[in-house]
Structure 1
Amino acid sequence: MTAYWLAQGVGVLAFLIGITTFINRDERRFKMQLALYSATIGGHFFLMGAIPAGMSAELNALRTLISMRTRNLWVMAIFIFLTLTLGLVKLHHPIELLPIIGTVASTWALFRCKGLTTRCVMWCSTACWVTHNFWLGSIGGTLIEGSFLVMNGVNIIRFWRMQKRGIDPFKIEKEVAEKR
């Protein structure tokens, strides 16, 4: 098996891990699954030679796990600084800015937003990643981010409609937080 197909296989594995991430209404489960997906897709990008995307994805995984414990502005700033510094140093093409922009946006969302707002910012971040992945030729990465774009978009609309009817789609998240 060539290194290219190994890399694509890891990307498809990430696709399988991440396919249901945005269906979760429980914020903790959502973030745990997102972290596992990010770590796996980061390995895929490193194998594909896309170093800025790989670093951004691995930082995403770590950042997502840490955001479950703290929403401290300094921690958020450290992750944004690391994303910009590590990503920009290895930049070879302007399109490689997209995962960096997407990672900065999703970092802000995970530390500063909740519920539907988190998912809306994550949708914009996903649009950056899917564009990059298509340009890179990442089969698994394009499939998963394209799926995230559609699934998260559908869920944003579904959750928004629930809110318009007076139903809190994130009630389970609030109940779990109150029990802690």
Structure 2
Amino acid sequence: MTAYWLAQGVGVVAFLIGITTFFNRDERRFRLQLALYSAIIGAHFFLMGAWPAGMSAGLNSVRTLISMRTRRLWVMALFLLLTLVLGLAKLQHAMELLPIIGTLASTWALFRCRGLTVRCVMWCATACWVCHNFWLGSIGGTLIEGSFLVINGLNIIRFWRMKRRGIDPFRIEKRVQQETPSAR
């Protein structure tokens, strides 16, 4: 098996893990699954030789886990700075800016937003990753991010419609937040 196909296989594993991430209405499970997916897709990008994307995905994984414990601005700023420094350090092509931009947007969303707003910002960040992954030739990465784009988009519409009917689609999320002390 060549290194290329090993890398593509890791990407497909990430695809299988990540495919149901955006169905979660429970914020904790959503973030845990997103962190696992990010770690595996990060390994895929490193194996593909896409260092800025690998670093962004690796930071995504750690950042997602930490955002479950705190939403402090200095922690968010640290992850924004790390994304810029580590991502730009190995930049070789303008298309490699897309995962950095996507990571910056999703970092902001995970630290500053809740519910439907998180998913809307994540949808925009996902669009950046889809374009990058297609350009890179990442089969698993393009499949998963393309799937995220469709699934998250459909869930955004579904959740928005629920809110219009007076139903809070993130009721579970609010109960968990009330049980956890504020980290601000």
> Residue 29 of structure 1 corresponds to which residue in structure 2?
29
> Residue 172 of structure 2 corresponds to which residue in structure 1?
172
* Within-5 A mapping of 1:151-166: 151-166=151-166
* Within-5 A mapping of 1:36-75: 36-75=36-75
Cα distance in structure 1, aligned partners of 2:71 and 2:177: 14
The residue type paired with residue 41 of structure 2 is: I
Shift of 1:176: 2.0
> Residue 109 of structure 1 corresponds to which residue in structure 2?
109
* Within-5 A mapping of 1:89-168: 89-168=89-168
Shift of 1:177: 2.1
The residue type paired with residue 20 of structure 1 is: T
The residue type paired with residue 21 of structure 1 is: T
Shift of 1:178: 2.1
Cα distance in structure 2, aligned partners of 1:70 and 1:86: 22
Q: TM-score, normalised by structure 2?
A: 0.97
Cα distance in structure 1, aligned partners of 2:118 and 2:177: 17
Deviations 1:50-106 (A, max 9, x none): 000000000000000000000000000000000000101100000000000000000
Cα distance in structure 2, aligned partners of 1:133 and 1:46: 13
Runs (4+) off by over 6 Å = none
Identity fraction in percent: 81
Deviations 1:22-48 (A, max 9, x none): 000000000000000000000000000
Deviations 1:97-118 (A, max 9, x none): 0000000000000000000000
Shift of 1:156: 0.2
The residue type paired with residue 81 of structure 2 is: F
> Residue 5 of structure 2 corresponds to which residue in structure 1?
5
Cα distance in structure 2, aligned partners of 1:100 and 1:174: 30
Cα distance in structure 2, aligned partners of 1:179 and 1:80: 28
Cα distance in structure 1, aligned partners of 2:63 and 2:22: 17
Cα distance in structure 1, aligned partners of 2:177 and 2:125: 26
Shift of 1:175: 1.4
- Give ranges in structure 1 of 5+ residues lacking alignment: none
Matched positions, count? 180
- Give ranges in structure 2 of 5+ residues lacking alignment: none
Q: What is the Cα-based RMSD across aligned positions, in Å?
A: 0.5
Deviations 1:125-171 (A, max 9, x none): 00000000000000000000000000000000000000000000000
The residue type paired with residue 41 of structure 1 is: I
Cα distance in structure 1, aligned partners of 2:144 and 2:131: 12
